[in-house]
């Protein structure tokens, strides 16, 4: 199709759609690789025909955040009636920039983010709306925007979608991955136990998750002592001088030390103490 034929088709189809529904979204495929003057002409035609929402797709995840924000700036400067319609982001994650691009679109005037749960979608997927909503919440001073999304439902809906789609969530996925609020490093565990905000920018309960302190060879005595206390072993700092070296030996031969292994370790220590006393 020639450019003139495309503009004519936009006018025809948007006009037809508007006859039947009050809200029409115009979504120009591959907008971010389109020459900006022609993109502005296409958007202008859609608004004139009755479109109420303009969606700017980064269809192949090509743009950097700065480039994506610049598209919205250009359209605001070159499209008449810009303020009469809504503006939406639609970002793909081919280069891992979907969330950053969506947020940059919001920073440059978009008032809607089109996305998915768990980032599912074509190829590398679309922006995860949970990640975007959490970022807007944590950095609300920077964006000065709010979302009606109920963040405490995040983990539950993520798990539901993962189960229904047979697409497990990566353990290290932001916000909803099982390691998102897990602290294994000894210095991280110690800092977290003293003051959670040291290593958590978002409280896990705000997204329906729970913090965890998996114990491994990098764990420190503070976390080990806290776990033993939670398991019902009233250990003291003095006792840890004996217990911690034994724990370190156990951690060297296993990735994560389970609660059952911790209990077995303590039972063995108590038995040796009883034998020594007898």
pTM over 0.85: no
DSSP character for 113? E
Alpha helices in 29-182 (DSSP H): 36-49, 65-78, 98-107, 129-138, 140-143, 154-165
User: Quick one: pLDDT at residue 275?
Assistant: 55
User: Quick one: pLDDT at residue 255?
Assistant: 83
User: Quick one: pLDDT at residue 27?
Assistant: 97
8 Å CB contact between 221 and 169: no
User: Quick one: pLDDT at residue 227?
Assistant: 86
CA angle 27–103–31, rounded 5-degree value: 25
Q: Smallest Cα–Cα separation from 132: which of 162, 111, 156?
A: 111
Q: Which residues fall within 8 angstroms of residue 167, CB to CB, at 6 or more apart? A: 118, 120, 161
User: Quick one: pLDDT at residue 231?
Assistant: 87
Which strands form 112-114's sheet, in the order they lie side by side? Answer: 25-26, 53-58, 86-91, 112-114
User: Quick one: pLDDT at residue 274?
Assistant: 61
Measured in residues, the chain has a length of 278
User: Quick one: pLDDT at residue 197?
Assistant: 85
- Compute how many other C-beta atoms are within 10 angstroms of the C-beta atom of residue 174: 16
Domains of the chain, earliest start first: 3-114 (3.20.20.70), 186-277 (no CATH)
Residue bearing tokens 């743009």: 63
Helices 129-138 & 154-165, crossing angle to 10 degrees? 170
Q: Residue-wise pLDDT tens for the chain (278 aa)?
A: 999 999 999 999 999 999 999 999 999 999 999 999 999 999 999 999 999 999 999 999 999 999 999 999 999 999 999 999 999 999 999 999 999 999 999 999 999 999 999 999 999 999 999 999 999 999 999 999 888 899 999 999 999 999 999 999 998 999 999 888 877 777 888 788 888 888 888 888 999 988 777 888 888 888 888 888 888 888 888 888 888 888 888 888 888 888 899 898 888 888 877 655 65
User: Quick one: pLDDT at residue 173?
Assistant: 95
């Amino acid at each position: 199709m020639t450019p003139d034929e495309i503009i004519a088709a936009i006018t025809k189809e948007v006009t037809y759609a508007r006859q039947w529904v009050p809200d029409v979204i115009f979504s120009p495929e591959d907008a971010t690789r389109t020459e900006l003057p022609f993109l502005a002409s296409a958007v202008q035609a859609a608004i004139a025909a009755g479109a109420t929402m303009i969606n700017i797709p980064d269809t192949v995840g090509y743009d950097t955040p700065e480039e994506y924000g610049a598209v919205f700036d250009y359209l605001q400067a070159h499209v008449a009636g810009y303020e009469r319609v809504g503006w939406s982001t639609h970002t793909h994650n081919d280069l891992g920039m979907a969330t950053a691009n969506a947020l940059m679109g919001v920073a440059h005037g978009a008032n809607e983010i089109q996305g998915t749960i768990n980032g599912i979608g074509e190829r590398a997927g679309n922006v995860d709306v949970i990640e975007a909503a959490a970022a807007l919440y944590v950095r609300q001073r920077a964006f000065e925007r709010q979302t009606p999304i109920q963040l405490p439902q995040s983990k539950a809906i993520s798990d539901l979608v993962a189960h229904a789609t047979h697409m497990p969530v990566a353990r290290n996925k932001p916000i909803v991955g099982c390691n998102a609020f897990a602290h294994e490093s000894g210095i991280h565990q110690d800092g977290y136990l003293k003051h959670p905000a040291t290593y958590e920018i978002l409280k896990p309960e705000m997204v329906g998750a729970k913090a965890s302190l998996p114990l491994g060879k990098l764990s420190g005595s503070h976390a080990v002592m806290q776990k033993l206390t939670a398991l019902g072993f009233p250990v003291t700092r003095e006792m840890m001088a004996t217990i911690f070296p034994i724990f370190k030996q156990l951690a060297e031969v296993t990735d994560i030390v389970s609660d059952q292994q911790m209990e077995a370790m303590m039972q063995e220590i108590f038995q040796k103490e009883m034998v020594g006393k007898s």
